[in-house]
């Protein structure tokens, strides 16, 4: 009798896991009990595009996969993304998180992983602050140009690792925007240490152990899951302690009466003072600040610096592209002066190359997950409020219908017949909708100013061509390579 009951319970459980809980969602791969489809990622070809592409071919432009007990709905077609996530932006504005996120952050703080009023206020503050640096004296372009000049001087006539040189430059820009100082010679060991921590964090969060820690709380006592969780929290503590040191130093020197702001921490502390009589400083608490700094420091560094390193790798692998960039620079600029943003609209081939670098680098194999703020209807499916949902931009950027021969590096696909720059709305590396990247303006400025000035001054070459094979990671990183920066004049 007991064995019959156990058998019925087992069959009912399997029926529930494999059919019943899935019946209302768009179809997708069959989830295993408990782990869902997490194991499929470990078995798929790195860095993960392939499995999303396979699922789209098998299940269509919208499908569901399961991370442990959570259904995640993927929208993998540009026009469907447009008619949902752009058209009804507010319905897809929240961020999907698990119970681990508030544990990690000490509450609902920051911009990347928060929702509702907290997210709205932090996003507004971030956009406002970044925009203010870009206006008036054009402080932002000055900050970027001073790192461009330093990189050109460091690399001239040398064979170097572009990743490291670009990391220091991009790291210095975001550090300067946030805290008002750069990583010069005597601060480079501090930067190396922080960068290594960040690299470890990026690697750990994409492991199966971390996936289990995030989605199945009861697995957190298993030794390998606990180890991953402890590592993630240890790195958080180290980064938070670095941010707190910077905030304390700023508190010693800040002039609350001055209208000028040197960096984002200064802007935040002034807001904090304005709200000092409100509970939790009206969103401007010190916990909020360390979490916001974590978001901007991480998002502002890895993405841009990995894109630039991929960019040089693709150009080294496509010699005719470097020749065409040089010939455009020579015919338009006609001298060896530095290139500024004022030159941007006159260099269509370079801009097309940057577009193609972003498309090919395809930095996030899976985009961040949003959460529906109310029930939505997509292609006849009723998706409940609170479901995780993802505009899968990596699949769009490699969609062969939109970008024929998607794995070939062809800047010409972004040019019109008359040589002018073609506007291609499906090129969405910064994502779309209400959660579109708020650092886009800064990132675009960096990509243009670094690449334009590197090729204006140097001819790049390498004895062995850099590998363009990608490995797993939250943002895909290039394998290490070296190249020579030879003066052109
Ligand atoms: C080439 C460089 C970059 C790329 C490709 C990139 C891409 C992205 C993508 C795909 C998202 C996810 C959007 C979504 O949820 O659908 C995102 C979000 C975000 N990015 Fe970027 N990003 C870049 C540079 C930057 C920079 C320089 C900063 C900061 C200064 C930044 C800050 C952020 C933040 C704060 C979010 C979260 C926005 C929110 O949840 O409201 N990013 N980015």
269 part of a folded domain:
yes
**Percent of the chain scored above 90 by pLDDT?**
85
396 lines ligand 1 (CB under 6 A): no
pLDDT at 230 over 80: yes
480 part of a folded domain:
yes
pLDDT at 135 over 70: no
172 part of a folded domain:
yes
| Residue 82 CA, ligand 1 centroid: distance in Å | 19
Q: Which two tokens stand for residue 403?
A: 């970008």
233 part of a folded domain:
yes
Instruction: Name the burial class of residue 368, with classes exposed (0-12), middle (13-18) and buried (19+) by CB atoms within 10 angstroms of its CB.
Output: middle
The annotation status of 267 as a binding-site residue, yes or no, is no
377 part of a folded domain:
no
| Residue 124 CA, ligand 1 centroid: distance in Å | 14
pLDDT tens-digit readout, 266-323: 999 999 999 999 998 999 999 999 999 999 999 999 899 999 999 999 999 999 999 9
Q: Are 368 and 345 in contact (CB under 8 A)?
A: no
* pLDDT band, residue 13 (cuts 50/70/90): confident
* Domain containing residue 461: 93-362+398-487
Read off the pLDDT of each residue in 196-207 and give the average, rounded to a whole number: 89
356 lines ligand 1 (CB under 6 A): no
387 part of a folded domain:
no
Reported as type and span, the H/E element at residue 485 is strand 483-487
Q: Are 465 and 317 in contact (CB under 8 A)?
A: yes
Q: What's the mean per-residue pLDDT of the chain? A: 95
pLDDT at 137 over 70: no
CA 247 to chain centre: 25
| Residue 347 CA, ligand 1 centroid: distance in Å | 25
pLDDT at 472 over 80: no
| Residue 122 CA, ligand 1 centroid: distance in Å | 14
Angular region, 237: left φ>0, alpha ψ -120 to 50, beta rest: alpha
Measured by CA distance, the residue closest to atom 9 of ligand 1 is: 430
Q: Which two tokens stand for residue 262?
A: 């040197």
Q: 270 vs 294, 333, 438, CA distance in Å?
A: 19, 43, 21
34 part of a folded domain:
no
Q: Are 121 and 283 in contact (CB under 8 A)?
A: yes
351 lines ligand 1 (CB under 6 A): no
277 part of a folded domain:
yes
- Residue 278's pLDDT is 93
Backbone phi and psi for residue 275, each to the nearest 5 degrees, phi listed first: -105, 25
**CATH of residue 264:** 1.10.630.10
CA 4 to chain centre: 52
- Index of the ligand 1 atom closest to the CA of residue 434: 41
Q: Which two tokens stand for residue 351?
A: 């801009």
437 lines ligand 1 (CB under 6 A): yes
- Residue 260's pLDDT is 87
- Index of the ligand 1 atom closest to the CA of residue 174: 30
- Residue 136's pLDDT is 58
pLDDT tens-digit readout, 79-126: 999 999 999 999 999 999 999 999 999 999 999 999 999 999 999 999
Antiparallel, parallel or unpaired: β 70-75 and 62-67: antiparallel
- Index of the ligand 1 atom closest to the CA of residue 390: 16
Which range among 44-58, 66-80, 103-117, 231-245 shows the weakest confidence by mean pLDDT? 44-58
| Residue 166 CA, ligand 1 centroid: distance in Å | 18
DSSP labels, 147-204: HHHHHHHHHTTEEE-HHHHHHHHHHHHHHHHHHS----GGGHHHHHHHHHHHHHHHHH
Q: In sequence order, what are the residues at sequence separation of 6 or more whose Cβ sits closer than 8 angstroms to the Cβ of residue 159?
A: 482, 483, 484, 485
**Domains held by the chain: number:** 1
| Residue 438 CA, ligand 1 centroid: distance in Å | 6
Ligand 1 pocket test target in 116, 303, 448 with most atoms within 8 Å of CB: 303
Q: Are 28 and 65 in contact (CB under 8 A)?
A: yes
- Residue 43's pLDDT is 83
Side-chain-side CA neighbours of 111 within 13 Å: the count stands at 25
Q: Which two tokens stand for residue 306?
A: 């990995």
Measured by CA distance, the residue closest to atom 18 of ligand 1 is: 437
Q: Are 469 and 479 in contact (CB under 8 A)?
A: yes
């Amino acid at each position: 009798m007991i064995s019959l009951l156990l058998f019925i319970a087992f069959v009912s459980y399997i029926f529930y896991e494999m059919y019943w809980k899935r019946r209302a969602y768009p179809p997708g791969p069959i989830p295993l009990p408990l782990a869902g489809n997490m194991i499929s990622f470990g078995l798929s070809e790195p860095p993960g595009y392939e499995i999303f592409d396979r699922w789209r071919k098998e299940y269509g432009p919208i499908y569901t996969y399961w991370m442990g007990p959570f259904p995640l709905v993927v929208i993998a077609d540009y026009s469907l993304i447009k008619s949902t996530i752009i058209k009804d932006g507010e319905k897809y504005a929240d961020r999907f998180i698990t119970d681990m996120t508030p544990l990690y952050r000490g509450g609902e703080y920051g911009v990347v992983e928060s929702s509702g009023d907290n997210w709205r206020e932090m996003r507004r503050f971030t956009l406002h602050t970044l925009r203010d640096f870009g206006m008036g004296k054009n402080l932002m372009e000055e900050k970027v140009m001073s790192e461009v000049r330093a990189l050109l001087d460091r690399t001239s006539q040398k064979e170097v690792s572009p990743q490291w040189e670009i990391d220091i430059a991009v790291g210095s820009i975001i550090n300067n925007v946030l805290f008002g100082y750069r990583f010069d010679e005597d601060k480079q060991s501090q930067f190396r240490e922080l960068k290594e921590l960040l690299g470890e964090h990026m690697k750990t969060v994409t492991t199966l152990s971390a996936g289990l820690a995030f989605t199945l709380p009861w697995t957190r006592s298993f030794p390998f899951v606990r180890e991953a969780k402890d590592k993630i929290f240890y790195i958080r503590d180290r980064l938070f302690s670095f941010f707190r040191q910077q905030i304390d130093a700023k508190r010693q020197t800040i002039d609350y009466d001055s209208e000028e702001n040197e960096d984002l921490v200064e802007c935040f502390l002034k807001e904090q003072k304005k709200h000092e009589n409100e509970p939790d400083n009206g969103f401007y608490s010190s916990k909020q600040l360390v979490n916001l700094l974590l978001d901007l420091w991480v998002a502002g560094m890895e993405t841009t610096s990995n894109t630039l390193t991929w960019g040089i790798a693709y150009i080294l692998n496509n010699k005719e592209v470097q020749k065409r960039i040089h010939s455009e620079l020579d015919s338009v600029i006609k001298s060896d002066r530095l290139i500024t943003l004022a030159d941007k609209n006159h260099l269509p081939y370079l801009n097309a190359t940057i577009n193609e670098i972003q498309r090919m680098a395809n930095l996030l194999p899976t985009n961040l997950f949003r959460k529906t703020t109310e029930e939505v209807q997509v292609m006849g499916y009723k998706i409940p409020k609170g479901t995780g949902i993802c505009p899968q931009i990596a699949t769009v950027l490699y969609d062969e219908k939109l970008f024929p021969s998607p794995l070939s590096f062809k800047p010409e696909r972004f040019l019109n017949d008359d040589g002018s720059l073609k506007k291609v709305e499906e090129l969405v590396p910064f994502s779309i909708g209400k959660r579109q990247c708020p650092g886009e303006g800064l990132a675009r400025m960096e990509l243009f100013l670094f690449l334009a000035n590197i090729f204006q001054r140097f001819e790049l070459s390498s004895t062995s061509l850099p590998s363009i094979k990608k490995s797993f990671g939250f943002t895909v990183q290039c394998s290490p390579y070296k190249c020579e920066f030879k003066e052109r004049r």
